[in-house]
Amino acid sequence: MTQVSDQDAAEAVNEQAPAADRPPTRLERFRRRRLLSHVSIMSKLILMMVLCSMLASAVIGGIAFHAGRTSIREAVFNRLTEVRESQTRALTAQVNDLRNSLIIYTQGGVALNALEAFTAGFDQLNNASVSPAQWQSITDYYSKTFVKEVEQYSGTKLDAGALLPATPAERYLQANYTAVRQNDDVAITIDDAHDGSQWSAANARYQNFFRQIVTRFEFEDALLLDGRGNVVYSAYKDVDLGTNIIDGPYAGSKLHEAYLKAMSANAVNYVGFTDFEFYQPAEMQPTAWMVAPLVKDGRTEGVLALQFPITKINRLMTFDQQWQQSGMGDTGETVLAGPDDLMRSDSRLFLENPQEYKAAVVAAGTPPDVADMAIRQGGTTLIQKITSPATVNAQRGETGTIITKDYLGQNTLQAYAPLVIKDSDLHWSIVAKVTTSEAFARESSFTKTMVLVTTGIIFLVCLLAIYLAQIFVRPIRRLESGAQRISAGDYNVAIPVETRDEIGDLTEAFNEMGRSLTVKEDLINQQRKENDDLLRSLMPDALAERFKQGEETISVEHPNVTVIFADIIGLDRLQAELTSEESLTLINELIRQIDAAADNFGMETVHTVRNGYLASCGLTVPRLDNVRRTVDFAMECQQIVGRFNSETGNDLRVRAGIDTGAVSSGLLGRPSVVYDMWGAVVNLAHQIKDGSPQPGIYVTSSVYDALQESLEFDSAGSVSVDGEAQPIWRLTERR
């Protein structure tokens, strides 16, 4: 039963799992290591330096980018917050200045005296009548001027007859003042209608006072209302002159409620401020009211009401349309919003390009008829919705900044806050905003700069890495080149040491290795030569070469070889009489002389065994006279032994057997290899030598037949070879 290890089982499970959810297997790790093993060290160095630089650049760049972006965003939000606070302070200061001025006017005697004079004049007109011509002028003004202007701005049809003045005083005043006015500029200059009435006398006395108020502070109108709610005076003599704010045609305006609050106020310095509304007498232009009571002896006699136009708010909120010079850029603006989510100021885009404004707000979800109405009205106040999280939060009394879409459908940065007006029921919100594309333009530029700088750094690091890697790898490549030269057999390699670091140490060690290899190569060559010499002394050169090439079975057939097998009689006795060292010295000297003679006669020594000496002629070098050379060598051996006897006083004799014919030679044995020669010729030569009791040179019939004409032989009997008698001959002398 096959046993499976826990690791193998785990890897088998991992192989079945998705590649992204499992750890790499051993095969995958091995493949990755193999892949890396094929990458050059220079590439690894470059990759390492680049990766480290990229990592460092990414970390440092990320920190710098985060800090820079945070700083830029904080600067943008802080700028918007400063604009919002600045606009809030400016608007509050403007209202407070007007409030203080109104308090001064109401607490002085002029306004109160004017109210008394106009009230008396108004009461005198309760029974006044107008001529048909005057009435016609009234109806013509309403139908041809006032109603057309209101319809133009509001987009709704009006019934002129329903708007005509109803009371005698109202008719009289509008006949003598309203119907004759050509425009506001003319109306404000009329001091006296010269009708002889008490009201005209009061107007001639006080018109300049109120004219200064409305023109210097840019109010739309100034009204005096008596304690019964009658509009007893109007600086611009508009259609609300003579009407009653309590039950008259304009009782539904915000002036009605403001009047009642002012009449019932107990505070000496009370000033009421209303929200904006479409006020019909002002041709449906957005209008707000500032009202203050006129008090005499602790009793409120009436109210001074100043008609606050939207132009004053717009001039402030739009920086008098100098957005660029005010630091608001191309898209920045500040707007006011009421609790009904409608604008209380005009849109910048509307003032710059109404048609572009219409296209943008309609695309953002505003109904087209609302956009058309804004174009008819000439502004977006009380028309354009500005619902956003910023205004919602501001209505809850919160202050802050946010990134959200605006009424134009653009992503914007918005700084919001509630706008608090003292002694008023206003719940306005102020929002300073700018599009994210413009607000973050510096951030985008900063991001591009960071990307370019980081990319540039990485590029320079890559170039530097390539250059440094080449410098670093240069000594390694020199070492590689030196190693290749050494592997090619050139050990005379010396690489200059240029550094004192680890590579310098490695270079010195490499050079030392080269020198050591040179010495060892010389020793090996010397040893190889000695081995070759030894090998050639043990076997023929041809067999030696074949043996060095690795051949294991070497055998050669030789058709014509003469073999001599000889021994020295008496050598055993000599060895017994002498010490081992002395006998070895004598024998080596004797063998040396015999080997020298063998070289002279072209004999090839096979081996020496105890007292025997085996040699041949014509074995490796074919010779036609190999028989004669062998016999001459045998006779030379006799002479060598004879000289030895004469020199040493010993009695040694040579006994040799010679035969000629085909033999075999080769290497025998493993692992100790011996060169030997075998065959019938070798055996017969050995038998002739061993079978002859007397010293001498014995030959076979083959040798005898070849040399009988040049040498004398005596019959020496015969030897038995494979049961057959073979005659042998003994050499006696030359002929």
Q: Which residues contact 229 (CB under 8 A, 6 or more apart)?
A: 244, 245, 246, 247, 248, 259
Domain ranges of the chain: 35-93+447-489, 108-313, 318-439, 491-538, 544-734
- Of 58-62, 186-190, 249-253, where does the model show the most confidence? 249-253
| Mean pLDDT score, 441-461 | 77
CATH level 2 (architecture), domain 318-439: 2-Layer Sandwich (3.30)
pTM of the model: 0.58
Helix/strand/coil for 212: helix
| Mean pLDDT score, 166-176 | 90
The pLDDT value given to residue 38:
62
| Mean pLDDT score, 293-306 | 91
Q: What is the pLDDT of residues 650-684, one digit of tens each?
A: 888 999 999 999 998 887 766 667 777 888 888 88
Report whether pLDDT(9) > 60: no
CA angle 180, 186, 188 (to 5 degrees): 105
Under 8 Å between Cβ of 225 and 302: yes
Structure tokens at 284: 């449906």
Which has the minimum average pLDDT: 68-77, 199-208, 568-577?
68-77
Q: What is the pLDDT of residues 237-276, one digit of tens each?
A: 888 999 999 998 899 999 999 999 999 987 778 888 888 8
Report whether pLDDT(1) > 50: no
Report whether pLDDT(49) > 80: no
389 to 342, 344, 381, 399: CA distances (angstroms): 14, 17, 20, 12
The pLDDT value given to residue 291:
92
AA letter at 714: D
Beta pairing, strands 653-668 & 696-700: parallel
CA distance 284 to 279: 5
> Cis peptide leading into 671, omega within 30 of 0?
yes
The pLDDT value given to residue 55:
79
Report whether pLDDT(32) > 60: no
> DSSP assignment of 23-61, as one string?
PPPHHHHHHHHHHHHTS-HHHHHHHHHHHHHHHHHHHHH
Closest-CA residue to 105 (of 240, 227, 271): 271
The pLDDT value given to residue 77:
81
Confidence label for 325 from pLDDT (cuts 50, 70 and 90): confident
Under 8 Å between Cβ of 272 and 68: no
Structure tokens at 534: 């030894």
- In the chain, % of residues over pLDDT 70: 89
CA distance 523 to 427: 109
Which CATH superfamily, name and number, covers 108-313? PAS domain (3.30.450.20)
Which has the minimum average pLDDT: 20-24, 147-151, 465-469, 615-619?
20-24
Q: Which CATH number fits domain 544-734: 3.60.20.10, 3.40.50.300, 3.30.70.1230, 3.90.580.10?
A: 3.30.70.1230
**Are domains 108-313 and 318-439 of this chain identical in fold?**
yes
Q: Quick one: three-class SS letters along 163-175?
A: HCCCCHHHHHHHH
Q: What is the pLDDT of residues 113-129, one digit of tens each?
A: 999 999 999 999 998 88
User: Measured over all CA atoms, what is the biggest interatomic distance in the chain, rounded to whole angstroms?
Assistant: 201
Question: What 8-state DSSP symbol labels residue 25?
Answer: P
CA distance 206 to 142: 27
Structure tokens at 140: 């013509």
Q: Scanning the structure block, which residue is given the tokens 């050139």?
A: 490
The pLDDT value given to residue 709:
86
The pLDDT value given to residue 443:
66
AA letter at 554: I
The pLDDT value given to residue 29:
61
| DSSP H helix total and E strand total for the chain | 25, 18
Q: What's the mean pLDDT when you consider all of the chain? A: 83
Q: Which residues contact 401 (CB under 8 A, 6 or more apart)?
A: 77, 80, 81, 413, 414, 415, 416
Decide which of 712 and 2 is more confident.
712
Report whether pLDDT(161) > 50: yes
| Mean pLDDT score, 143-163 | 81
Closest-CA residue to 695 (of 655, 667, 643, 724): 655
